[in-house]
A = this chain, B = another copy of it.
Amino acid sequence: MLKEERQQLILEKLGTDKKVTLVELGQILNVSYDSVRRDVIELEDRGLLKKVHGGAIANSYLSMKASRGLGIANNEFNIITKKAQKLIENHSIVLMDGGTTNFYIAEQLPKSLEITVVTNNPHLATALAEHPKIEVILLGGSFYKRYQITLGNKTMQDLEHINADLYFMGINSIHSQKGLAIRQYEESLLKQKMMSVAKKTVSCVIEEKMNRIENYKVCDVDDLDYLVTSLNPNEKILQPFKGKSVEIL
């Protein structure tokens, strides 16, 4: 069995199931787990999937683009999107970075909205081509394949010239004491910069990201202006955030 053949099958399975375990794959493909693991690593480097402990899950951008046409609505994302939209004023300058949640919000923006979106995420830029009234500014810099965003000095410099009204910060984890954190060091710097050039910062987090702690802290919960979740305001998981200065939606 050819390596490419295996990888193709992995992607196919991932396309239907959204997730696979290495054990599963090893059995189906009838090769050692090591080979499967190496395949998965390779595919991750190409940005075609995301590797997790014990297996892999489908690339969020790819699967979203695929599911968009089918009208498959993800409930949690939809709730968040609805709430987030209320924060966006017409004729404002909105800063958005990478991450699935931001991508989803951008896609669902009303077609009538006249705003300028500044982003370091090319997927978001191309997706917004469908919105005739939204102007898109793409931040330049070196392109990080793994996270599919631009990063680095150039991107930071570009930001100096931006004065945004609102910043949608994508985040990997949020914790009432330890604050908001992310997996990449460089990315955490960029996010801090973005906060500094925006009047207000909002973070939209899905439930699975709450009360986890990722590697690099971006800021404290108190530094946020708004926190958007899909949860009901008096869920117990939200209680630790209540005393903070952040407004919870």
Contact = CB atoms under 8 A, between A and B. Distances in A.
Interface string A111-135: 0000000000011011011101001
Contacts of A208: none
A77 interface: no
A126 B135 contact: no
Contacts of A3: 52-54
Interface string A83-120: 00000000000000000000000000000000000000
A140 B158 contact: yes
Interface stretch (A142-150, A186-194, A235-243): A142-150
Decide if the interface of chain A is mainly helix, strand, loop or mixed. mixed
A26 interface: no
A82 to B, nearest CB: 21
B122 A138 contact: yes
A50 B5 CA distance: 12
Q: How large is the interface on A (under 10, 10 to 19, 20 to 34, 35 or more residues)?
A: 35 or more
A53 B123 CA distance: 30
Nearest to A3: B53
A4 B57 contact: yes
A196 interface: no
A130 B42 CA distance: 10
Contacts of A143: 125, 128-129, 136-138
Given A122-B126, A140-B140, 17 more contacts: A2-B52, A2-B54, A3-B54, A4-B19, A5-B19, A5-B57, A8-B57, A46-B130, A46-B132, A128-B143, A136-B143, A138-B141, A139-B140, A140-B150, A140-B154, A140-B155, A154-B158
